[in-house]
Structure 1
């Protein structure tokens, strides 16, 4: 199983901290999973200009092809101005409309206040649904108060991260089984 985690911002540390915690859980519980971290702060990704994702070069090609090869994607995103950061939106723009077909996508969101949870419901989930993702219904929402010195100090957040990882892997396994059963219906 290929799991790609995206730290969807080029600034700040909270989203990366949350993704790092989540990937530790994945490694502990699912040591056979092939895990890739795409921290957008570490890549030079060009702005989308409408080309097919395979026509880009350099970091842009690496990022888009890594996402397209994944079975599961864990998106970590901060909330900026009650919205997703432009760096993450650009990734969505670089990918084809059906980029997330047959992929399970889960989300971890960091924000300064509880009021920003609506960003996930009104912006991120609709984009993922439009791109044909199998969306893990629950997500982990982490507030400023849950962090202290680049550490997550809220045990409930850690518990929810464990559950998110389990739900993500279970959904990948379930959809893989469904696709295999559907494929056996055909004689060719």
Structure 2
């Protein structure tokens, strides 16, 4: 099984760190899982213009194809102005309506304060469901105080929740795979 993690930001490093923690937790739980990380700040994903994927640049094609080739995914997003960043929404707009069919789509969110904790439920989750993703019950929300100056996660409760998210994602994806067999 291939788990792809996407950091949906083009600035900062906290979201990327959080997504990587989920990937590492999943790998620690099951060594057979192949993990791949996409940090959107490393790619020039073009704005959607309503043309076939082949008409976009190589970065856009690579990111979209990597996402579509995944068995399951974890999306990390910072919260800006009570919403996900435009760069992440633009990426979702490149995907076909059934892009996440039979795929677990986990969520991990970073924000400056706890005032944004419901954005995951009311903005990101509906997009994943619209694209037919299977969304775990668990998700992880981190705020700035959960990181130290080096952007390492210092909150043990968050570390445990990341581990539980990875565990639930693996269980759900294996269950979906077994039901297809």
TM-score > 0.5 by shorter chain: yes
Band of TM-score, shorter chain: over 0.9
Which secondary structure does the structure 1 equivalent of 2:10 belong to?
coil
TM-score under structure 2 length normalisation: 0.95
Question: Is 1:162 aligned to residue 159 of structure 2?
Answer: no
Aligned residues: CA RMSD: 1.1
Q: How many Å separate the matches in 2 of 1:4 and 1:88?
A: 15
TM-score under structure 1 length normalisation: 0.92
Query: 2:3 aligns to what?
Result: 3
Query: 2:28 aligns to what?
Result: 28
Query: 1:176 aligns to what?
Result: 177
Within-5 A mapping of 1:1-188: 1-149=1-149, 150-180=151-181
Runs of 5+ unmatched residues, structure 1? 181-188
Cα-to-partner distance string for 1:50-94 (whole Å, 9 max, x where unaligned): 223354330100000000011110001100110000110011001
CA contact (8 A) 1:54 1:65 kept: no
Q: How many Å separate the matches in 2 of 1:121 and 1:108?
A: 11
Q: How many Å separate the matches in 1 of 2:98 and 2:53?
A: 12
Q: How many Å separate the matches in 1 of 2:16 and 2:27?
A: 16
Q: How many Å separate the matches in 2 of 1:51 and 1:98?
A: 18
Query: Where do 4+ consecutive residues of structure 1 move more than 4 Å?
Result: none
CA contact (8 A) 2:46 2:57 kept: no
Which secondary structure does the structure 2 equivalent of 1:134 belong to?
coil
- State which structure, 1 or 2, has the greater radius of gyration over its C-alpha atoms: 1
Which secondary structure does the structure 2 equivalent of 1:158 belong to?
helix
CA contact (8 A) 2:5 2:20 kept: no
CA contact (8 A) 1:109 1:140 kept: yes
The Cα shift of 1:115 comes to 1.6
Q: How many Å separate the matches in 1 of 2:160 and 2:5?
A: 18
